[in-house]
Chain A
Amino acid sequence: MRVPLDSARRRAPEGHCDGFSRAQAIRRVLAGKPPVAREWDPRMPIPAGAGIDRRRFLAGAVGGLVTVYGAGRLGLTDRMLGDGIAKAATLQPPGSPILVSLFMQGGVDGLSLLAPAGDPLYQQLRPTLAVAPGSGTPLQEDPSLTWHPSASSFAQLHNAGKVTLFPAVGYTDPDMSHFTSRHYWEVGATDASLLTGWMGRYLDVAGDAANPFQGLSMDGQINPTLATAKNPTAAIDQPNSFAVYLNGVWGDAAEWALDSAASLGDAQRRSRDPAIAQVAGAASEVGVVRRTLQPFRTSTGSGANPGTNANPGAAYGSSVTYPNASTGDLPARLAGLAAMIAAGVPLRCVALTTDTQFDTHSGQAPTFDSGVRLVADSLAAFQADLEARGVDGRVLVHVWSEFGRRAQENGSDGTDHGAAGASLLIGSRVNGGMIGEFAPLNELDVNGNQRENADFRGLFCSLLEQWFGQDAADVIPGAGSFPRYQLLA
């Protein structure tokens, strides 16, 4: 039959999207820009913790912000002695392990991150995007593979034994929708209807009914991986920008008013009426978060825009230099995280999302280069910061993306949605090896994508068992059916 010629233009062609995320939308709105139209995928699952996205703590955006705390002039060590942290820190044993999940949103191109630069087939599939042989650091285990030049910090960390690499992780019957695939990773199962995140379920099993910091989103909104069914979690942007204020109230009166709201929350959070309990629970948790982060608040209280800061770590007393934050606030968020860990904030699972969208359907090179460089350099600084603070043994970072990208580049100097992608584990206690192998380009799947040779659910099970000492069967559906990988040294 005849389809009108313009019909294709009404909907974006399959596999194409405008690169849009929820976190990005909020940041754009707060910057006064309209959000970009988002790909609509009819099979899009409801995100874990649905309806609890789009949050952000703001201070000073409206009315006058009154400075209450002059803590900025105090040294970091003194500030760390704040009552709030000391109280919260008793909620979990000192030195407990912390897992940090960093989501490179949009589907980062694994075939650029780690490229078979000398392979003629690769050069043929990627006529404009191929990494040139000799342009980056060769992979220690297999010199036919080259780290992308922008990922040189990853190469250095890997050579120092601090990165375990999964070159091709995914799942069978890969779904090429951002929303669906991302949801699978977030909930730790290929189940569109699951509404709790995989780390959230771990916190429900092993966490605490009084500690919202056990599941901390640092995206300014709850990260779906941390959606719990019962235990509290928290969302902030950066620890020094977390502030709740009352218009026209300052000084001690502001403190008393916020304490009053929290105490009413404490009194009513066990209400038999579920609606009352929901509001009261939030008020009560805000009280804990506010008190605990109070020592981090700068003298401006509004979290001065770190984008202008040449070394975002300075605001948190870091002794290492983080990347210039002009392209995003990831370095500042990681610097704030390192400071919270060192201060003893009772963290267990932390989730962050990159500002950069790696959904590079067109003009891939500049986005990939600057985005990967920012992530790699920021994580290298974070690792060095943790080492300098003497807490590196407690922290493991998992870097992931919802899928890799099509082996054959498209006609717009970009790549479309793929299947298996790369994942990294970073920390002082990883075994530093490579798990699975590079997925060969002469064995692509029916859609022309790299095939997975490690399963993301097996990776999660291994993390739960080896890092947290938690029986994965209580957290990951069908845990027994997935392989386990040796992650730690």
Chain B
Amino acid sequence: MIGAAPHDDHGEPLDPINTWGEDHCWWLDRMVRSDQPLIERMTLVWHSWFATSEEASNARLMIKQNWMMRRHALGNFRQLLLDVTVDPAMLLWLNGNTNYKDSPNENYGREMLELFALGADRGYDQHDVHQNSRALTGWTNDWDEQRGPVNFRFEPSLHDYGVKRIFGHRGRFDWRDSCRLAVAHPDHPSFFVGKLWGYFVGAELPRTTAHALQRTYVRSGYEIRPLVEAILRHPLFYEGSRLVTPPVVWTAGLLRGSRQTITTTSWSWIAQLTGQVLFQPPNVSGWNYAQWLDTSRWAGRLEAVNVALQNHVLKGKTYPFGLRENAKQAYQHAIDFWGGRPLSGQAQDNLFVLGRRIARGQTEQWQQVPFRQLRQNALRVLIPMTPDWMTA
């Protein structure tokens, strides 16, 4: 972690567990300040993949889950799945804590196959869902008046020790076997590789690449790192069609690019406006990565830029870049403000035109400074709003 510790609008440290919205700011700060951004990005992938919402639990358990996912960010998927399956926030979210021998609850048993490991209707049926849910029985917890749900544990008396038949295998399976069987299922590698690819690359996964990636994944014993490295080295990652950058990643990019840290908790309601509140995915299937933008979310992102510029709009009696600055130089100064990432020719030309138009708007000598400020401020607001900047 690099840079100043985050604080709220009054200079107080964040309290992610007890103050609503500060859990979002807490993780956003890690995304901004981490010297291992890929770890944070992969933690977000797992949060989307195993989408759990604090609406079923609380910030304490969500942050605990977050640390677990960060630990496995580039680790081993089978181990990740094991830890997610008995994670307290997940047990609460998908009723794993009320899945008992005599009254199996199929919620987790189904989503594990449909959303986490195999994909909808790929190589399993309702019988497998039911048997898988039986294998997962036995987890429970207590309730504390002050602390809420506590003491999550496996309770043998609640577990179904009978024989189950899952994907054609017979045995007295428990939750560990359930995870093992799901990952060993022949349809798992193709699901896993396709889904992971989709988080990073807009272009469709070519068949030959898919097969190579699946082999890499299985031979490594379900290791995540080699697969991520292979995807990030693939030419289509650089050349293929783009993806809209998720709102929270784009927001972290604003702050990183302009060398800022978290100094306001406004980011929690900005997150609502942009459509991605950490620890509150819309449902168990996670955020819809295919549809991040429309009119109102565009306006929400504009609001985010306004907040990022809260202490960085130019005003007063002087102009730092000199009065001889032309439209191209003004553009370059604004690009530099956001960290130097260039735009495509079309977006750049569009901003040159705007810069010249604002310069022409000046009619009086006294307007020299304010119109240069206006131009620089306008360019600063619009650069992160360009389709180039919002996609990667």
Q: A29-B272, A256-B354, A273-B241 are in contact. Are A63 and B391 (CB under 8 A)?
A: no
Q: A244-B299, A267-B350 are in contact. Are A273 and B391 (CB under 8 A)?
A: yes
Shortest C-beta distance, B354 to chain A (Å), equals 4
B390 surroundings in chain A (CB, below 8 A):
279
> Per-residue 0/1 for B96-122: is the Cβ within 8 Å of any A Cβ (1 yes, 0 no)?
011011110001000000000000000
| A45 to chain B: closest residue by CB | B283
Shortest C-beta distance, B42 to chain A (Å), equals 21
Q: How many residues of B contact A (CB 8 A)?
A: 86
Shortest C-beta distance, B199 to chain A (Å), equals 14
Asked if B305 CB lies within 8 Å of chain A CBs, one says: yes
Contact A40 B56, beta carbon cutoff 8 Å: yes
Asked if A286 CB lies within 8 Å of chain B CBs, one says: yes
Cα–Cα, bound, A57→B298 (Å): 9
> Per-residue 0/1 for B40-65: is the Cβ within 8 Å of any A Cβ (1 yes, 0 no)?
00000000000001011000000000
* Of A103-111, A257-265, A469-477, the one with at least 4 CB within 8 A of chain B: A257-265
B314 surroundings in chain A (CB, below 8 A):
248
Asked if A221 CB lies within 8 Å of chain B CBs, one says: yes
Q: A4-B140, A253-B371, A273-B242 are in contact. Are A289 and B295 (CB under 8 A)?
A: yes
Contact B95 A257, beta carbon cutoff 8 Å: no
In the complex, which residues 198-222 of chain A have their Cβ closer than 8 Å to any Cβ of chain B?
212, 220-222
Asked if A34 CB lies within 8 Å of chain B CBs, one says: yes
* Most chain B beta-carbon contacts within 10 A, residue among A212, A233, A247, A276: A247
Taking a contact as CB atoms closer than 8 A, the residue among B268, B295, B303 that contacts A285 in the complex is B295
Cα–Cα, bound, A178→B273 (Å): 24
Q: How many residues of A contact B (CB 8 A)?
A: 79
* Most chain A beta-carbon contacts within 10 A, residue among B269, B272, B354, B380: B272
Asked if A54 CB lies within 8 Å of chain B CBs, one says: yes
Contact A220 B296, beta carbon cutoff 8 Å: yes
A280 surroundings in chain B (CB, below 8 A):
387
Cα–Cα, bound, A234→B294 (Å): 8
| B281 to chain A: closest residue by CB | A51
Cα–Cα, bound, A257→B143 (Å): 55
Asked if B232 CB lies within 8 Å of chain A CBs, one says: no
* Of B163-171, B187-195, B285-293, the one with at least 4 CB within 8 A of chain A: B285-293
Contact A3 B309, beta carbon cutoff 8 Å: no
| B361 to chain A: closest residue by CB | A252
Taking a contact as CB atoms closer than 8 A, the residue among A53, A63, A250, A252 that contacts B282 in the complex is A53
Contact B385 A283, beta carbon cutoff 8 Å: yes
* Of A6-14, A145-153, A481-489, the one with at least 4 CB within 8 A of chain B: A6-14
Shortest C-beta distance, A271 to chain B (Å), equals 7
Q: A248-B309, A260-B354 are in contact. Are A283 and B387 (CB under 8 A)?
A: yes
Contact B287 A264, beta carbon cutoff 8 Å: no
Contact A30 B269, beta carbon cutoff 8 Å: yes
* Most chain A beta-carbon contacts within 10 A, residue among B157, B287, B391: B391
Contact A42 B305, beta carbon cutoff 8 Å: no
Contact A264 B350, beta carbon cutoff 8 Å: yes
Cα–Cα, bound, A221→B381 (Å): 23
In the complex, which residues 390-433 of chain A have their Cβ closer than 8 Å to any Cβ of chain B?
none
Asked if B306 CB lies within 8 Å of chain A CBs, one says: yes
> Per-residue 0/1 for A3-36: is the Cβ within 8 Å of any B Cβ (1 yes, 0 no)?
1101101110000000000000110011000110
Cα–Cα, bound, A256→B381 (Å): 13
Top-4 shortest CB links A-B: A248-B313, A55-B296, A51-B288, A248-B377
| Further contacts, 13 of them, CB under 8 A, given A50-B288, A55-B294 | A10-B141, A34-B20, A42-B107, A46-B282, A52-B294, A246-B377, A247-B309, A247-B381, A248-B381, A257-B378, A260-B353, A275-B242, A282-B298
